[in-house]
Amino acid sequence: MIQGKASIRLERPPHILGAAAVAGSKEGEGPLGNYLDLISADPLFGRKTWEAAEAHMQNRAAHLALEKAGLTTDDLRYLFAGDLLGQLIATSFGLAELGVPLFGLYGACSTMGEALSLAAVMIDSGNAKYTEALASSHFASAEKEFRFPLAYGNQRPYSATWTVTGCGAVVLGQKGGKVRITGITTGKIVDLGIKDTMNMGAAMAPAAADLIMQNLIDFDVTPEYYDRIVTGDLGTVGQRALIDLLKEEGISIECQHMDCGIEIYDAETQDTHAGGSGCGCSAVTLCGYILRQMERGIWRRVLFIPTGALTSQTSFQEGQTIPGIAHGIILEKV
């Protein structure tokens, strides 16, 4: 199973049996709106707080994915899930009702990659028949947690990204799906000294570049091996940085690269600056768009790389840099 320095080739690749994407109205109005399973016109999702709204998104996505897989909570062995909030309160409050053993995860916006990695390894090892991986974010809860009160009306530079209101959930099983996970590459923390919290793309791009290089080395392949190399939420600024960093190493991914943060919003009409971000960005794009493209045979092999900026209110106020991390998942059409 061990493949190179940081990867695993799964001997019994788990299949994706069901996936669901739940999102807000802004995401529904974007280019991927037709691919989403549930869109709420109410950003509060009928709840009283932003945090409760995000917890509800997780609950709905978890149940929808299970329904599409033809399973119930009783079938699940483990949940792997996370969000951006302190103590993972969207996850803990949203998924408590399911009554399934939970691994609560924090990898910032790379959390869906971390969740899928662990959920897949658990099935490949024979320690679970069915698992579920989830990740969520909410624009308003993230702004409240990391930046400014919405009523403050602060100005945003072009490099800033818009936190996606959404949750993606994936149910994995031993067989029966149209797409399977055949390998993973676990990223390491990479810090090139970026301190600008309004330019998360630049902070995460080095970790994405490092992950891609490690994946190509570990599996002894070139970028052309993949139909798409998909990063999580670098946005337009981070995408340019990623491509330039890899070019310095003699690697070109311009023909294969796609970024979830660029795809989820319409840059010309939705005023989201550099694009989308948040745990929900890559999770929703995966569950709503990428997997459907693969099921139709448009793409047969995808390297999916959610990216994360490991910062907090405390580290920012103390003048610390913003380390980045990325996790790679190899998806293949069955």
Greater model confidence, 162 or 18? 18
- Angle between helix 139-146 and 50-69 (nearest 10): 130
Does 7 or 160 have the greater pLDDT score? 7
DSSP assignment letter at 109: B
Q: How far is CA 100 from CA 32, 49, 61, 62, in A?
A: 31, 25, 15, 11
The 8-class DSSP code of residue 290 comes to I
Give every CB contact of residue 334 below 8 A, 6+ residues apart in sequence.
15, 177, 178, 179, 180
Could you please report the per-residue DSSP string of 209-247?
A: HHHHHHHHHHHT--GGG-SEEEESS-HHHHHHHHHHHHH
For the stretch 190-249, pLDDT in tens is 999 888 777 888 899 999 999 999 999 999 999 999 999 999 999 999 999 999 999 999
Q: Is the pLDDT higher at 37 or at 275?
A: 37
Residue 212 CA to residue 183 CA, distance in Å, equals 13
pLDDT at 152 over 80: no
Enter the DSSP assignment of 129.
S
Rounded Cα distance, 77 and 124, in Å: 13
- Residue 231 burial (CB count, 10 A): 33
Q: What is the mean pLDDT of residues 263-267?
A: 93
Question: What are the residues whose beta carbons fall under 8 Å from the beta carbon of 252, sequence distance 6 or more?
Answer: 223, 243, 246
Region for 6 from its dihedrals, namely left if φ exceeds 0, alpha if ψ lies in -120 to 50, beta otherwise: alpha
Parallel, antiparallel, or unpaired: how do β-strands 162-163 and 276-277 relate? parallel
- Cα 284 from Cα 169, distance rounded (Å): 8
Identify whether the C-beta of residue 192 lies closer than 8 Å to the C-beta of residue 206.
yes
- In this predicted model, what pLDDT tens digit does every residue of 24-70 receive, in sequence order? 999 999 999 999 999 999 999 999 999 999 999 999 999 999 999 99
- Give CA angle at 26 (23, 31), nearest 5°: 90
